[in-house]
Amino acid sequence: NAGVTQTPKFRILKIGQSMTLQCTQDMNHNYMYWYRQDPGMGLKLIYYSVGAGITDKGEVPNGYNVSRSTTEDFPLRLELAAPSQTSVYFCASSQVETQYFGPGTRLLVL
């Protein structure tokens, strides 16, 4: 199993540009999450999903959108990138309670 995979690993965006961060898991987990990690801060939940077709907001959802059309994929969309979205983004999945994390996407908005 590859576990949780994320693409891209690193991206530089200009202010106002859009992009989609991809996340795929091959463990058939129902629950998937997007977190962001800023320097000196704990990870914060952006959005989560408890199954295909069901998504909900976390602590810091503004400026992001998600969809969950399949069990495997949970893409995160940034519509109008802002410098405040410079961060490292982690996708995670779980079936019961243990969460499995992807390797992260480092995003720089200039």
Partner 1 sequence: KNEVEQSPQNLTAQEGEFITINCSYSVGISALHWLQQHPGGGIVSLFMLSSGKKKHGRLIATINIQEKHSSLHITASHPRDSAVYICAAPRGGGADGLTFGKGTHLIIQP
CB of 16 to partner 1, least distance (A): 27
Instruction: Render 3-58 in DSSP notation, one character per residue.
Output: -EEEE-SEEEE-TT--EEEEEEESS--SEEEEEEE-TTS--EEEEEEEETTEEEE-
Please tell me whether residue 1 binds partner 1 under the rule CB under 8 A. no
Q: Which is nearer to partner 1, 58 or 75 (CB)?
A: 58
Q: Which is nearer to partner 1, 10 or 16 (CB)?
A: 10
Please report the sign of the dihedral spanned by the C-alpha atoms of residue 37, residue 24, residue 72, residue 77.
positive
Q: Which is nearer to partner 1, 69 or 95 (CB)?
A: 95
Contact segment (CB under 8 A) with partner 1 among 16-24, 25-33, 64-72, 77-85 equals 25-33
Site string for partner 1, 43-82 (x = CB under 8 A): xxx--x-x-----x-xx-----------------------
- Quick one: CA torsion of 68, 86, 14, 105, rounded to 10 degrees? -50
Q: Tokens 């200039």 — which residue?
A: 110
CB of 100 to partner 1, least distance (A): 7
